[in-house]
Amino acid sequence: MPDKNNKNSHGLTYSPMRRWLSKFEVDLTDRCTWPMVCALTAVMTASVSLAQSGINTTPEIRAREIAALAPPSDKQELRKEEVKDMSVVMSGVEKILRSNIEKLLDIWQFHEKEIPSVARMRFMHRQAPDQIAAALRPYGYYRSTVEARLSDLGSKWQAVYRIKPGDRVAVKTASLKITGAGADDPEFKQLQQFAEENIRSGVELDQQTYGGIKQSILNTAAQLGYFESEFLANEIVVDLDSYTANVTLHFQTGERYRLGKLTMTQDVKWLSEELLAKYVELEEQEYFNASRVQEVQSDLSNTSYYRNVEVRASADDAVDRVIPVSVDLTHMNPKQYVYGVGYGTDTGARIRFGVTRRRLNKSGHHYQAQVNLSEIGYGLGVGYTIPTRDPRTDSYGFEFNIEEEDSVRKFRNIGIGGNYRYRDGLWFKTYSLNYQLEEDIEDESTSALLIPSLEWVRTSPAELEKRINVTRGNWLQLELRGASSDLLSDTSFIQAKVSAKKIISYGNGNRLIARASAGTTRVTDYSKLPSSLRFYTGGDRTLRGYSYNVVAPVDADNQVQGGKHLAEVSLEYEVPFRPNFSWAVFSDLGDAFDDKPNLRNGIGLGLRWRSPIGPVRIDAGRRLDDPSKGNWHLHLGIGPDL
């Protein structure tokens, strides 16, 4: 006997043989290459189909059925004419609804593409109204209608769907509860408040919001260590007669797990246990928090000591809801070489080479040495670092530097000193003491200065990887330095500088970038203040439209001497025109001066490419204080936003 469950959409019963032939029939219509086999199959298919439906047939009817199913002859070119591109046109829905429809609509995958076959296209077209209705239901539309039309336009097929979503189902009742040990946790209380505000009696049903709340509850439970949590009830019941919905969401948190003993294993004895312990803030028996565990992974991975860090804290290993934590560390090659070539409009062609010894001993000491060469000078720097209280951010350092520049500024500098760096809340603070000898290359005068200094920097976002291509952030730097002629210095001075930058992004991807700097100097004998401690502006990162460091007071021979004070401000607006590329317009204003500022203005256009190491900036700037032609300057720069 035939299976009563095997019925088509008209209520007719299919036998297993009929189902097999139906599948073969699609293949036959799409691509039949052996006419005799196709014709025979067509006869069998037609006969079984008519017999199963209980319809009496005559030879003439069978002949017409066979003719309809038989493939075209060699003289026919119907298939070639019908297999062509198609377009899909939808109207009546907003962007978010259309996006979900496109994901579920099979025929959409062939939009502006060649169809696989006419039969397949017609089949997908017949399914389209049901698929569109299914795509609208998650947003509360249960009474949608679709007008569907398929047309042969000659050069291509066109499927048109005029959609009327109708009204959304209204929530009649909503029961939202979070119970258990975690019910009073701020994270769960915030989620419950959000759920009650968005799913309540009288509001339109949005299953996307409902699903998002469910997922957020599950994620929060996993994040906080409620590994025995469960939904006691979660359902939406829609009554199509009253066109209302009853929503139930009951969640039981269960008990919260704790962290147990932490064990750290190194493949070789690379760092002392005392130093490693400073990288870990987890305490035994504290409540589980995935973010806290992840911090251990991140902090150790961000060091230069280990190339692989594996942290395991799994509920599967728990005993009495206490999870042991294990950390496996694989050491990194202690020596690293760095090198690079580049070009900047301020420096010309440049190269650099350096070596870093990542680990010298079990106390984590390390050093670095680097040589920089460019068209305007060279530099050599050697530094030695000793981790201290918090090795992630705090250290003592010693430095030795040699630098020579032959551009607007012409000097040769030798310096030696030490510093202490540490984090204080959101601030990174550096206190330094440096002794430097600087020679003016032109007049061969030399100045000696013992300079104590401080630098405070605050950056948001704080994570290094988030400062490369920033959508929203800010940076603030405070600097103060000075010297006394009574203490190993040729002159007395005090100098302060404040620099800031802010980046704001808008919903359309546009960015506004603002920056400003201000500095001032008080000095007893300005002639003995070396060039490296005077203020200049002009160039890629200061005043575009002007050459590097040319904006400053000049002497009687019209040679740039540098100024006692600095004022700079800049506004830039970026508009994307394709992924990772944008146009920019900018206006820079500034001056380095001794008494009163004579603010210079540079404006221009730029191109931005968001590279993996930061934006590549190409700017064409024009100085407005010189109306003559040819006063455009090209500026090229690369580096992180903050």
Strand order in the sheet with 170-179: 170-179, 244-252, 230-239
Residue 3 binned pLDDT confidence (cut-offs 50, 70, 90): very low
Cβ-contact 156, 86 below 8 angstroms: yes
Averaged pLDDT, 590-597? 94
Cβ-contact 177, 249 below 8 angstroms: yes
* 79-164 and 258-331 agree in CATH topology: yes
Q: Which of 48-62, 472-486, 509-523 is predicted least confidently?
A: 48-62
The pLDDT tens digits for 453-469 are 999 999 999 887 888 88
Asked if residue 28 has pLDDT above 50, the reply is no
Q: Which of 10-14, 146-150, 434-438 is predicted least confidently?
A: 10-14
Write the CATH number of the domain with boundaries 79-164. 3.10.20.310
Residue 48 binned pLDDT confidence (cut-offs 50, 70, 90): very low
Main-chain phi, psi angles of 543, to 5 degrees = -120, 95
The residue type found at 239 is D
pLDDT at 57: 41
Q: Which of 221-235, 342-356, 448-462 is predicted least confidently?
A: 342-356
Residue 632 binned pLDDT confidence (cut-offs 50, 70, 90): confident
Best CA proximity match to 50, nearest among 191, 435, 398, 58: 58
Cβ-contact 295, 230 below 8 angstroms: no
C-alpha span between 340 and 351 (Å, rounded): 6
The pLDDT tens digits for 260-289 are 999 999 999 999 999 999 999 899 999 999
Best CA proximity match to 460, nearest among 324, 642, 295: 642
The pLDDT tens digits for 133-190 are 999 998 999 999 999 999 999 889 999 999 999 999 999 999 999 999 999 999 999 9
pLDDT at 171: 94
The pLDDT tens digits for 192-220 are 999 999 999 999 998 889 999 999 999 99
Using a pLDDT cut of 70, give the percent of the chain over it: 87
Residue 629 binned pLDDT confidence (cut-offs 50, 70, 90): low
> pLDDT: is 12 or 540 the higher one?
540
pLDDT at 231: 95
Domain spans of the chain, in order of start: 16-71, 79-164, 170-252, 258-331, 360-638
Q: Which of 14-28, 510-524, 601-615 is predicted least confidently?
A: 14-28
Residue 100 three-state SS: helix
pLDDT at 41: 42
pLDDT at 230: 96
Per this entry, what is the length of the chain? Answer: 642
Residue 630 binned pLDDT confidence (cut-offs 50, 70, 90): low
Q: Which residues of 344-367 are buried (b: 16+ CB within 10 A; e: fewer)?
A: bbbbeebeeebebebbeeeebebe
What is the four-CA torsion angle of 276, 282, 288, 291, rounded to 10 degrees?
-70
In words, the CATH class of domain 170-252 is: alpha beta
pLDDT at 455: 97
Q: For 258-331, which CATH superfamily applies?
A: membrane protein fhac (3.10.20.310)
Write the CATH number of the domain with boundaries 360-638. 2.40.160.50
C-alpha span between 83 and 26 (Å, rounded): 15
Q: Which secondary structure element, helix H or strand E, spans residue 477, and what is its range?
A: strand 473-483
* Gyration radius of the chain over CA positions: 37
Non-local (6+) Cβ contacts of 277 within 8 A are none
